[in-house]
Amino acid sequence: MNIVERFLNYVTYDTQSSEETNVTPSTKKQMVFAEHLKKELIAEGLKDVELDEMGYLYATLPSNTNKPVPTIGFIAHMDTSPDASGKDVKPRIIKNYDGSEIILSNGLVTSPTIFPELLDHKGEDLIVTDGTTLLGADDKAGIAEIVQAMVFLQQHPEIKHGKIRVGFNPDEEIGMGAHNFNVEKFGCDFAYTMDGSEVGEIEFENFNAASAKIAINGCSVHPGYAKDKMINAARIATELTQMLPTDEIPETTDGYEGFFHLTNISGSVEKAQLSFIIRDHDREYFERRKKEMIDIVENINEKYGKGVAALEIKDQYYNMREMVEPKMYIIDIAKQAIAEAGMTPIIKAIRGGTDGAQLSFRGLPCPNIFAGGLNFHGPHEFLPVQSLEKAMITIVNICKISAQKSTNINHP
């Protein structure tokens, strides 16, 4: 099975996660895919294949050298985003993309005018959706690349490498992917998540992240007799959103700029609910943003009455930079691996999160490497076949280079 066939098989599995269930994995369908992957890893010759009851899958490619070399890991997540359906994905491959608009179903068009990154892949073969679902390259591309790299290394025993650990987890898209990842069992000196985007990218900075949920309790009274009695929860919800900075939202920010993002709002006169995510690369600014949210809710309660608005803020993950910087040889290995695969390494900060952030703070330095897909979380998602292949070769190169440089690596 080649890497494209492997990826196309993976996206037939609906693995959308859910923030509503409060169980792990958050959806049973993720476990269906995990069971499939377990059988596949065994069939492909990996050892110590283990799937736990929470949907975390681990496996080993044993070392083929007698040198003392670090144990390294590669990690990808099985779930797809709750933002768009991942059911009945119908991918197609556009051979030798010519730079024109891509017509999807239901009158939907992926245009290089709106998505200029398409033009960076003229002449390549693009895997696209039919416009009714996301594709699932985030992160089934990463899984396909890791599995294919393990197969490649077994087919090429002349490439010397140390012990390699593979880890696939559920629920990354809801910020829970690393919560139950068994770092001790994984047993690696360092690892990489294959969960990035454009070719050549290496990421070891990410947002500090928190979620905020606000419940508003109103008072429903006949509108004809509502004066000084009614508390309209739905209207207060809209008022609250306008109290946040209008220029600090995802639509208006870039680079290292943080934001408040309203992800859901619903309600009636009697009850309303709002969900936000709070993001910033700078830890101090991150704390300020959380304080601003607290102050806004307090202002609502001062205006409408104690207990009208209730806020719950939860930190989700932190910027991994402070954990990776002391061990920059991990980044140097990735840069060399990418260069040897014929690409220019690109160091950039993630405007988002990755399981590697939490894992880094739990003692497993874990930067993120490109997986090749673009326009995640919606029907405009696409994956160049050539990027898929280059990511796989990058994994192989990391394994090779880690063994070659083993004497220069300071083990944790």
Burial of 336 (0-12, 13-18, 19+ CB in 10 A): middle
Of residues 400, 366, 330, the one with CA closest to residue 149 = 400
Sign of the dihedral through C-alpha 375, 381, 384, 390: positive
Integer Cα distance of 191 and 165 in angstroms:
9
* Three-state SS at 9: helix
Both tokens of 156, joined, read 């090429």
Task: Report how far residue 90's alpha carbon sits from residue 129's, in angstroms, rounded to the nearest whole number.
Answer: 6
Describe the crossing of helices 385-404 and 329-340 by its angle, rounded to 10 degrees: 130
Residue 41 to residue 251: CA distance in whole angstroms: 41
Catalytic position from the list 14, 145, 171, 172: 172
Catalytic-residue membership of 52: no
Q: Which of 396, 317, 327 is nearest to 189 (CA)?
A: 327
Q: Which of 14, 40, 79, 203 is catalytic?
A: 79
Report yes or no: 189 and 411 within 8 Å, Cβ to Cβ: yes
For residue 226, with 0-12 CB atoms within 10 Å meaning exposed, 13-18 middle and 19 or more buried, which class applies? middle
Distance in angstroms (rounded) separating the CA atoms of residues 124 and 4: 14
Is 79 part of the annotated catalytic residue set? yes
Residues annotated as part of the active site = 79, 172
